[in-house]
Structure 1
Amino acid sequence: MERPIIFSTEMVRAILEGRKTQTRRVIKPQPPNYVDKIYGPEIYEPAIINKDGELVPGKPVYGVYDEWGEWGVKCPYGQPGDILWVRETWIKDAAGYHYRANFNPGMEETVKPTLRWRPSIHMPREASRLFLRVKNVRVERLQDISEQDAIAEGIEWTEEGPLHAHYLDKNICKTGAWLNFTTAREAFASLWDSINAKNGYGWDVNPWVWVIEFELV
């Protein structure tokens, strides 16, 4: 089964370069505060109330649930083996589709100056060029991310001499003004907050997240 998934321009570049093989997405809705353990993801039958008011098994879904069966969520990103087609920033002209991730920041104003980049959310299926096979799905608290997993999220390492080696979070910085961090986890936390904090799911909130491991096909 195929499903769409949105990535920022920098994260598309990380995928193309082979640096990004994981993505974390907020579980919505979040489980109640009293839930401290989540089961799955796996195929299960959520309980539903039929027209007679009886509690009966519902249609099987692939997702997660709590130990009391009072909360559960279907995984919107599918299950292992499914394909995710990537939505990214794009434009179209007479020559076809063009993708912002292919252009260096300094080139964007000189290439296709009469056209405006279109948001990834509006990309149709036919315009997609990247397809990801889901290898594994799990759930965890955001802050449980390991150093290696933060690197797998696309955080980049650079060396500028023995005293100037840092992880970079280029996604939220202008060219030439990147933020430097001593660990990949710190850089990932900054990246995460730049995207999710405004929606109430910042690093300090430590929300439950889907962890999607994938490979480019």
Structure 2
Amino acid sequence: MKERPILFSAPMVRAILAGTKTQTRRICKPAEAQGLSYVVDCQDGTWGNEEGDMPVFSCPYGRAGDRLWVRETFARIDGQTRPWIETDYRATYTHGDRLGDRLGINKRWTPSIHMPRHASRINLEVTGVRVERLQDISEADAKAEGVQMPDGTPTPPEFWSYRQEFGRLWEEINGASSWEANPWVWVIEVRRA
């Protein structure tokens, strides 16, 4: 079993904590770089193409049984006599929880990429990995990505879907037209460890 870090935004951290996010999709750089028209699971934790004319590649997030530790935006809380006595997490922090808030001291948030292992509060176990085209996501898988109906919508409109909301979120994170590009993605299935 190996352990690797993985970054998540605040809304996705909240979805993990709520138990609604059990999948994540990340661009499969080897398949994209090779311009593959199809990807084959070699059944040994690696992927490639049927012709075997390119090196096989493996998922940088691990395979079933491996663990991921979540990196998220955080703030280090130092004590008067000791450094780093606690950690606040932006995804779930409520302003006013700390004395510094009441004194008007601005919290110094640190980007998720800089979170050290010891500050992580969420561990995930990889339960499955596959490669697919982004737009092959099903409605059930889009729901497993942790997306929700936009705030203020009393009931799902007839035209709303988890898949459509996931496409909107994907473009928000990856840029305009990134959904239409339909890249190869790693589909990493996880559960809280």
The answer to whether TM tops 0.5 is yes
Q: Which amino acid aligns with 2:115?
A: M
Tell me how many residue pairs correspond in the alignment: 181
Q: CA deviation at 1:165?
A: 1.7
Alignment match, 1:67 = 50
Q: CA deviation at 1:104?
A: 4.6
Q: What RMSD over aligned residues (CA atoms) do the two structures have, in Å? A: 2.7
> Quick one: which of 66, 78, 89 aligns to 1:82?
66
Q: CA deviation at 1:197?
A: 2.2
Cα deviation 1:80-135 (Å, max 9, x = unaligned):
00000110000111241111111258989947833311000000111111000001
Tell me if structure 2 keeps the 8 A contact 1:150–1:184.
yes
Distance in 2, matches of 1:74 and 1:184, equals 29
Alignment match, 2:15 = 14
2:104 corresponds to 1:103: no
Distance in 2, matches of 1:83 and 1:209, equals 19
Question: Which protein has greater RCO, CA pairs closer than 8 Å, 6+ apart?
Answer: 2
> Quick one: which of 174, 186, 197 aligns to 2:164?
186
How many percent of aligned residue pairs carry the same amino acid? 47
Q: Secondary structure at the match of 2:29?
A: coil
> Quick one: which of 148, 155, 167 aligns to 1:165?
155
Tell me if structure 2 keeps the 8 A contact 1:159–1:166.
no
Q: Which amino acid aligns with 2:147?
A: I
> Quick one: which of 96, 115, 118 aligns to 1:123?
115
- Distance change >3 Å, CA 202–CA 104, structure 1 → 2: farther
Distance in 2, matches of 1:107 and 1:184, equals 34
**Bigger strand share:** 1
- Distance change >3 Å, CA 24–CA 106, structure 1 → 2: farther
Tell me if structure 1 keeps the 8 A contact 2:68–2:125.
yes
- Distance change >3 Å, CA 28–CA 186, structure 1 → 2: same
Distance in 2, matches of 1:8 and 1:159, equals 18
- Distance change >3 Å, CA 106–CA 41, structure 1 → 2: farther
Distance in 2, matches of 1:7 and 1:41, equals 29
Q: What TM-score does the superposition give when structure 1 sets the normalisation length?
A: 0.75
Q: Which amino acid aligns with 2:51?
A: W
Distance in 2, matches of 1:193 and 1:211, equals 17
